[in-house]
Structures are given as structure tokens and as C-alpha cells.
């Protein structure tokens, strides 16, 4: 079982999703199976087969989420070193080749959301930035080659 780190908000979202699957989706599929079963011969009942398949997928998803929640650890932001780029660091970087500046927050893989400026610590850029200090340049290998980013600022 792999330990995954979460912010309180990220873990709450995961738990909410798990509760939704267990308390809403599971009973809904059970109802669909019961309705399909009431229609008679199960050997040629496509509705029944589809509902059973959906139930199998749902149970697999619930099982995986339960595993993640069981192995989840909360990050204590107050104990993180803010002089280096770590998980939950908000990092302003400058692309050395074109001068473009971007700001990202490094988060656990399952909390990444590029639209919100959250990148995973396991992404190429996230890995390249980890452990760096302000003023340092990170050389990051991306599919198009090597990029150089200067760490402009680090905050929480």
C-alpha cells in the first residue's frame, strides 16, 4: 500500500467522493439490478448484464478509493521548510529562454489541476523544482527537450 499525502481539502474531496459512491451510486445500481431481475429471464436480459457490469466497476472504484483513503497522510503546512520547494509550495518560476513567468503550487499527484495552477510533484516540472531554493535554476527534461527555469519566489 503506497502512502499518499494530501492537503485537508484534498482528503475531504476524496472522502466526499467515496461517500457519494457508497450512499448514492451503490443503492442506485442495486435498484437497477432488482428492476432488471424482475423482468424475467436473466440469460437474455441486456439490462441486467449492463447493471451487473456497472456494479462491478463501481465496487472496484470504491475499493481503490478506500485503499487510498486508508493510506492517506495529511500534510502539516506549518512544519514545512519554506526556503526550499516542497509539496504545497507556491513557486513563481521564470523560463530562462523566453522570460515568461508562471506560478504553480506543487501538490500530491491526485490533487493536480492545471487550470487551478496546481501541478503534481511527480510531473517532470514538479520533480525538477523539488528541493530548489530561490534564485536557483532548475534544468527540467520535458518531451520537447531541456528547459531551464529560475526560481523567482517560494511561498506557502
Q: What whole-number percentage of the chain has pLDDT above 70?
A: 92
Average pLDDT over residues 76-93: 76
Whether residue 81 is predicted with pLDDT greater than 80 in this model: the reply is no
- 79 pLDDT tier (thresholds 50, 70, 90): low
Tell me which of 80 and 87 has the higher pLDDT.
87
Average pLDDT over residues 98-123: 88
Alpha carbon of residue 25 to chain centroid: 21
How far apart are the C-alpha atoms of 85 and 134, rounded to whole Å? 9
pTM of the model: 0.58
Domain with residues 4-74, CATH architecture: Orthogonal Bundle (1.10)
What confidence score (pLDDT) does residue 8 get?
80
Residue 91 is predicted with a pLDDT of 92
Domain 79-155: which CATH number of 3.40.190.10, 3.10.50.30, 3.40.50.170, 3.40.50.620: 3.10.50.30
- Report the pLDDT value the prediction gives residue 92, as an integer from 0 to 100: 92
* Cα 69 to Cα 12: distance, rounded to the nearest angstrom: 10
Sequence-ordered list of residues with C-beta below 8 angstroms from that of 18, at least 6 positions apart, any chain: 62, 65, 66, 69
pLDDT one-digit tens code per residue, 6-29:
778 888 888 999 999 999 999 999
Within the chain, all domains assigned CATH 1.10.287.180 are found at 4-74
Tens-digit pLDDT profile for residues 117-140:
999 888 888 888 988 889 999 999
pLDDT at 1 over 60: no
Amino acid at each position: 500500500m503506497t502512502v499518499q499525502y494530501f492537503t485537508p481539502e484534498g482528503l475531504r474531496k476524496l472522502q466526499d467522493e467515496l461517500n457519494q459512491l457508497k450512499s448514492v451510486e451503490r443503492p442506485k445500481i442495486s435498484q437497477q439490478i432488482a428492476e432488471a431481475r424482475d423482468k424475467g429471464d436473466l440469460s437474455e436480459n441486456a439490462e441486467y448484464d449492463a447493471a451487473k457490469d456497472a456494479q462491478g466497476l463501481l465496487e472496484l472504484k470504491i475499493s481503490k478509493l478506500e485503499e487510498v483513503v486508508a493510506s492517506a497522510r495529511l500534510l502539516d503546512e506549518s512544519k514545512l521548510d519554506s526556503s526550499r520547494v516542497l509539496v504545497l509550495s507556491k513557486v513563481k518560476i521564470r523560463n530562462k529562454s523566453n522570460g515568461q513567468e508562471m506560478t504553480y503550487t506543487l501538490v500530491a499527484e491526485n490533487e493536480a489541476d492545471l487550470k487551478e495552477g496546481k501541478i503534481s510533484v511527480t510531473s517532470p516540472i514538479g520533480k525538477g523544482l523539488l528541493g530548489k531554493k530561490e534564485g536557483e535554476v532548475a534544468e527540467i527534461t520535458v518531451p520537447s527537450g531541456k528547459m531551464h527555469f529560475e526560481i523567482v519566489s517560494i511561498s506557502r
